[in-house]
Amino acid sequence: MPIIAPSLLSANFLNLQADCSMLNESDADWYHLDVMDGRFVPNISFGPMLIEFFRKATTKVCDVHLMILEPEKYAEQFKNAGADILTVHLEACTHLHRNVQQIRALGMKAGVALNPHTSVSCLSDILHDIDLVCLMSVNPGFGGQKFILHTIEKIKQLRKMIDEKGLKVDIEIDGGVTLDNAPSIIAAGANVLVAGNTVFKSSDPKATIAQLKAL
């Protein structure tokens, strides 16, 4: 069964309590929390302060996706805010190995995210040191974009790399995931589905989460 990680970026920020309660009662496994700095991506979302509130609102895993430059400056703040998984972008890290070591030393799981143009082969020397790969299936920065089909090939390649090395690394797909394309995403070898608009714009978000979970 896939891990379902609804992205709160698409939640109703005027009534987050309602959306958190809905998620807590649903089959969702993780809260996917998108942090944007207006520098690495052309949008600004929220930071550790809001994550502290989400941490208080749920016992589910807080999966924090940092779309920011110099993530090493903030790793400790995100740990203190309650992040369980901290994902940094390969494209934002000159010293990626040092960054993932720092995240693990702080007691969090370490994830690495790749933009659509970055080849999964760039991960071959870091896969041993991480817990999760987040493959962006849209250009990061905004919810509600269209899934880039080439991601399916990247998932297959990455699944092969992970299995050949005998590792246990989660493959998370982020951007444009729908009930229609999720089966092929899972068939290609991914095991974590992020879904923003598909969940929060649904007329019955809980049922949509259950449908994704049942795939």
Q: Catalogue the active-site residues.
A: 34, 174
Q: Describe the strand order of the beta sheet including 61-67 as a list of residue ranges.
A: 3-6, 192-195, 170-174, 132-136, 109-114, 85-89, 61-67, 30-36
| Of 4, 5, 23, 34, the one binding Zn ion by CB under 5 A | 34
Nearer to ligand DX5, 113 or 167 (CB): 113
77 sits near ligand DX5 (criterion: CB under 6 A): no
In eight-state DSSP terms, residue 26 is: S
| E strand or H helix at 87 | strand 85-89
Return the closest-CA partner of residue 120 out of 165, 69, 66: 165
Overall size of the chain counted in residues: 215
Q: Which does 132 bind (CB under 5 to 8 A by kind): Zn ion, ligand DX5, none?
A: none
x/- map, 22-61, ligand DX5, by CB under 6 A? ----------x-x---------------------------
141 lines the binding site for ligand DX5 (CB under 6 A): yes
Shortest spacing between CB 8 and Zn ion, in angstroms:
10
By the criterion CB under 6 A, which residues form the site for ligand DX5? 7, 9-10, 32, 34, 65, 138, 140-145, 174-177, 194-198
